[in-house]
Structure 1
Amino acid sequence: MALYDTYVGELDRDGGDFPPEARLIGVAASPPGRLRALVDETRPALAPPPALLDDHADAAESFRIDGLCESGAHNAAWDRVDFADRYREHLASDPDASTAIDSLCAALADGADLALVGPERSGELRSHRTVLREVLAERTEGPDDADRVDDADRVDGIC
């Protein structure tokens, strides 16, 4: 059992750095066509709620107007809107998200390798996929073998 995090561009380029038998799970609310074509299944219930995405977009725009580059604005907005905690709250309180998490936890408990797939790279940009991986790892109490970008390793706001 292992959890991985990847994105469309990586899948297009080299297939990703995870076992070929890993189940690819799309976790975007409205997955772009290319993402849908590359994954084994989509779980839109695991996407951040629209209100959180809207708050984040508004805050990121404010930071861009103030002169931050795209990735710097994205990551600064993440902090401003308390994205990680609000997303965790959504996962805990939304019945559809809870059902989806239960299903993925069961797959992990059965030994499946899962790769959470989104449209954007999470190495530069903070991503809900990282938080989701943490939640799944906490729930299954298993190892998280995927490469992880810790906040300390992220280059926020440097454009």
Structure 2
Amino acid sequence: MERGTLADTYVAAIQHDLVELPADATRVGVVRQPTSWFHSAVDENRPELGPPADLLEEMRDAEEEMKMQGLCEEGAHNAAWDRVGFEDAYRAYLEDSSEARDAIATLADRLAAGESLALVCFENTEKKRCHRTILREYLEETTS
């Protein structure tokens, strides 16, 4: 059996037809606190793959501080990302959390069985960095 494909995108891109995903791809949300309108754009949500609350809070605080220093929203986001060491912290979470490891193993099994998946969250990654890109890379590294 052929391995499924893995993609990632943001919810507004789906809602406004800004992204082409494989027609058979299962849209997997990876956010901690999805809104009702988020649920309508995805097939399922795996909140355990969203960043942990303490990391999100640290990121939000740093981002607000950067905005106070005069950075635009995207600049503040990306500067805060670097300041809090977001990528390393999120990767550590993926490895240390049994819930995240179980969810990753489930997605890896689905990919191996030929299912195509598209990871979805809120962040537009044309201008901002996002955890789902790290998650996609992590899945690719652990399943190849």
Q: Is TM more than 0.5 here?
A: yes
Distance 2:131 2:121 in 1: 9
Two-structure CA RMSD over aligned residues (Å): 1.0
Question: 5 Å matches for 1:125-136?
Answer: 125-136=128-139
State the shift of 1:106 in Å.
0.4
Match of 2:66 in 1: 63
8 Å CA contact 1:27–1:47 kept in 2: the answer is: yes
State the shift of 1:99 in Å.
0.6
Distance 2:89 2:40 in 1: 29
1:74 corresponds to 2:65? no
State the shift of 1:117 in Å.
0.6
State the shift of 1:120 in Å.
2.1
Distance 2:60 2:131 in 1: 14
Distance 1:50 1:92 in 2: 16
State the TM-score, normalizing by the size of structure 2: 0.95
1:101 corresponds to 2:107? no
- Point out where structure 2 has 5 or more consecutive residues left out of the alignment: none
2:9 to 3, 6, 9: 6
State the shift of 1:15 in Å.
6.5
1:122 to 122, 125, 133: 125
- Point out where structure 1 has 5 or more consecutive residues left out of the alignment: 142-159
Report sequence identity in percent. 46
8 Å CA contact 1:8–1:34 kept in 2: the answer is: no
Moved over 6 A (4+): none
Match of 1:54 in 2: 57
State the TM-score, normalizing by the size of structure 1: 0.86
Distance 1:75 1:2 in 2: 28
8 Å CA contact 1:23–1:115 kept in 2: the answer is: yes
SS at match of 2:32: coil
1:64-88 alpha-carbon deviations (Å, 9 max, x no partner) = 0000000000000000000000000
